[in-house]
Amino acid sequence: MAVSKEQVWFLRHEGHGVAIVRAANFEQATVAAAKFWGVRWGEVAAGIEVERKKPLLNNICARCGKMFQGGREILCPPCERKQREEDAEQVRIKRMIRERYKQEARMMRKGAADEEGRGAEVDA
């Protein structure tokens, strides 16, 4: 049996969380990660960091190390599910922070406009 050059890559991107993918090199890994996150490669490529790398083992989960019947899958079903949940959670938190920031920016703009209207009135 030929030894696969593929490795398991744990890639992190701020705003998308961690993607666990199989690939022979970093570039391929980033392509697979973008696909996992459902975004265009060009949008995330520059922000991807390698958290860690592991040799690829058939039927061994890259996350919990347990054996499972997965063929070419990297993660056992429970870990796969967990990763997707965590990923969704990361995205949810980021969205919340972004929304809040936008709201604050709106309020600040509104505040500034109000102040111009009635002359500098400062709330403590």
**51 contact partners, CB below 8 Å, separation of at least 6:** 10, 11, 12, 18
Strands 48-55, 17-23: pairing is unpaired
- Tell me how far, at minimum, the Cβ of 9 lies from Zn ion, in Å: 16
- Tell me how far, at minimum, the Cβ of 49 lies from Zn ion, in Å: 23
Cβ closest to Zn ion, residue 29 vs residue 75: 75
Strand partners, 8: 22, 54
**119 contact partners, CB below 8 Å, separation of at least 6:** none
Cβ closest to Zn ion, residue 30 vs residue 83: 83
**Interface positions with Zn ion (CB under 5 A):** 61, 63-64, 76, 79
- Tell me how far, at minimum, the Cβ of 77 lies from Zn ion, in Å: 8
